[in-house]
Amino acid sequence: MAEAVLREHDVDLGTAKRGRGWTNATWLTDEFVVRVATKPGTADLLREARLVRLLPAEVGYPPIIDAGVWQGHEWVLSRR
């Protein structure tokens, strides 16, 4: 799933490193972070993506580039 998300944004998964997330599978590139829910269904990633858009810039939360559901798994792509 992370490969498809990164490919859609013209990033090679070969440049990504696996992160150490516990609640989500995480891949890091120099520019992006992809988090994918490990189980299908609601994982609150889409909810988080909606909430982040409401935060003021001063909070410093990384910008969300894209979010969605792939084969039942929620995912979020953000700037690193």
For the chain, what's the residue count?
80
pLDDT over threshold 80, residue 78? yes
Segments making up each domain of the chain, as ranges = 2-79
pLDDT in tens, 16-53: 899 987 789 999 999 999 999 988 888 799 999 999 98
What CATH code would you report for 2-79? 3.30.200.20
- pTM for the full predicted model: 0.87
Q: Which residues pair with 19 in a beta bridge?
A: none
Burial of residue 6, with CB atoms counted within 10 A of its CB: 0-12 exposed, 13-18 middle, 19 or more buried: buried
C-beta separation of 50 from 63 below 8 A: no
